[in-house]
């Protein structure tokens, strides 16, 4: 098993076997204040100064011509080019420009912008974005951007002369200036509403209780995604200060039993509350019985006989070539409370056995999917 596989299995086991005691998290880190939201801005612009890596397609040409007309270019050559509707230059590119206007941004504030090629063009390296207005969904201009592009990343030397980034996407750090403010409303009639980033009834209730311990009868958990907070009389004119104080209060947020699988990268993330019913698993050259004892033909040593072979499955490992790996105890196991005949096992226990057998990320994904179909996996399985 290669190092990447070992590292991934170790990460999955660590996540699954994490201690049951949940960490205290600040309320400000798991909620947002309703009304304090950003707005997406967009514009169409032109990048100049490219080194023969721009586009000569019709769309890029037409935008360049329109730009020259707006600039009142009056030279004879330029006028002829405009009349002929021809302006072929490999040093320009038609781009889309995006930015996020954060809540309470004031005039003169700077924004980062992302520039992406729309028309032809192989690379934006070395280019300069010329003045581009950025509008919101209402069509009004809220910012204006211009500046030198940065594509970042690095080149790799070799036969393919590869590149570790996308040269058709670039950034202009701090390249946009806010021209119009959008001031949000964080309170309405003395009420502040906290929106949970990860909706959960238990977490919502804990937030309400934590606030009420410090500001009695002010907070009410409306549902799994929102906590309604009444601004106390002493903070009527200091709402920002009040929000800052409740944001520093801590709670232990609960998390749902969930396994998230990214099949493209082989990444498996397991929540601490995931449980598995005792189930016999036959996969490739591995067998795991309900007592979480694993049998594999990978190593020759003396061991107990393998599990019986169901007719519909492959032949079990040869007894003389089998390996029995008992489940290591979980770090947080308490002997006086531990019952090996319990109805459920943690995914951490299962992963430790699979790790000992040399399972790959692909094996983990297949096993979790099978357990979910069987009904033995008591968690939500999310496949990305």
Q: Where are the domains of the chain?
A: 3-20+258-383, 25-35+185-251, 39-178
Burial class, 285, CB count within 10 angstroms (exposed 0-12 / middle 13-18 / buried 19+): middle
Which 3 state secondary structure label does DSSP give 374?
helix
CA distances from 104 to 7, 32, 172 (A): 43, 14, 21
Within 156-285, strands assigned E span 169-178, 191-196, 219-223, 226-230, 250-251, 258-262, 267-270, 275-276, 281-283
Question: pLDDT value at position 305?
Answer: 42
The helix (run of H) or strand (run of E) holding residue 81 is helix 76-84
Asked if residue 30 lies in contact with residue 92, where contact means CB atoms within 8 angstroms, the answer is: no
Closest CA to 280 of 243, 328, 312, 240: 312
Residue 356 burial (CB count, 10 A): 16
SS3 168: coil
* DSSP conformation class of 163: B
Of 292, 289, 325, 323, the residue nearest 308 (C-alpha): 289
Q: What pLDDT was estimated at residue 339? A: 38
Question: Domain 25-35+185-251: which CATH class?
Answer: alpha beta
Instruction: Tell me which residues of the chain have a pLDDT lower than 70.
Output: 1-22, 73-87, 153-165, 290-344
pLDDT for 87 equals: 66
Q: How is residue 182 written in tokens?
A: 């959008």
Q: Report pLDDT for 80.
A: 60
> 271 to each of 9, 48, 184, how far by Cα in Å?
15, 49, 35
**DSSP tag of 27:** G
Residue 14 has a pLDDT of 45
**pLDDT tens digit sequence for 147-176:** 999 887 655 555 455 555 678 999 999 999
Question: Shortest CA distance to 349 belongs to which of 11, 10, 16?
Answer: 16
Q: Write out pLDDT tens, residues 8-65.
A: 444 454 444 444 556 789 999 999 999 888 889 999 999 999 988 888 888 888 888 7
pLDDT for residue 346: 75
**Cα(233)–Cα(243) distance, rounded to whole angstroms?**
14
Predicted confidence (pLDDT) per residue in 183-199, tens digit: 778 888 899 999 999 88
**HSE-up (13 A, CA, CB side) for residue 81:** 18
Pair 340, 349: CB distance under 8 Å:
no
């Amino acid at each position: 098993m290669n190092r990447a596989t070992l590292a991934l299995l170790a990460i999955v086991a660590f996540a699954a076997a994490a201690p049951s005691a949940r960490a205290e998290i600040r309320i400000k880190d798991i909620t947002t204040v309703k009304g304090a939201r950003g707005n997406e801005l967009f514009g169409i612009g032109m990048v100049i100064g490219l080194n023969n890596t721009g586009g000569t397609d019709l769309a890029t040409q037409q935008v360049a011509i329109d730009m020259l007309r707006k600039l009142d270019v009056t030279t004879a050559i330029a006028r002829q080019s405009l009349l002929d509707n021809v302006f072929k230059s490999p040093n320009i590119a038609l781009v889309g420009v995006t930015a996020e206007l954060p809540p309470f941004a004031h005039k003169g504030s700077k924004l980062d912008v992302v520039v992406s090629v729309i028309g032809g063009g192989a690379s934006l390296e070395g280019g300069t974005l010329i003045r581009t207005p950025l509008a919101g969904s209402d069509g009004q201009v809220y910012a204006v951007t211009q500046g030198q592009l940065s594509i970042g990343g690095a080149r790799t030397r070799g036969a393919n002369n590869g590149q570790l980034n996308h040269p058709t996407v670039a950034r202009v750090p701090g390249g946009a200036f806010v021209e119009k403010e959008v001031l949000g409303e964080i309170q309405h009639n003395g009420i502040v509403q906290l929106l949970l980033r990860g909706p959960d009834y238990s977490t919502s209730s804990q937030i309400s209780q934590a606030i009420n311990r410090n500001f009695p009868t002010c907070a009410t958990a409306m549902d799994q995604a929102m906590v309604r907070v009444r601004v106390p009389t002493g903070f009527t004119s200091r709402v920002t200060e009040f929000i800052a104080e409740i944001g520093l209060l801590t709670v232990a947020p609960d998390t749902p039993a969930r396994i998230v699988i990214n099949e493209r990268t082989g990444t498996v993330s397991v929540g601490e509350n995931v449980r598995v019913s005792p189930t016999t698993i036959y996969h490739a050259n591995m067998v795991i019985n309900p007592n979480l004892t694993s049998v594999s033909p990978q190593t020759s040593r003396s061991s107990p006989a393998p599990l019986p072979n169901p007719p519909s499955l492959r032949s079990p490992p040869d007894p003389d070539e089998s390996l029995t790996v008992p489940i290591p105890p979980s770090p947080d196991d308490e002997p006086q409370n531990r019952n090996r005949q319990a109805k459920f096992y943690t995914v951490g226990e299962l992963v430790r056995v699979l790790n000992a057998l040399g399972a790959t990320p692909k094996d983990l994904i297949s096993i979790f999917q099978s357990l979910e179909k069987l009904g033995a996996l008591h968690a939500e399985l999310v496949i990305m």
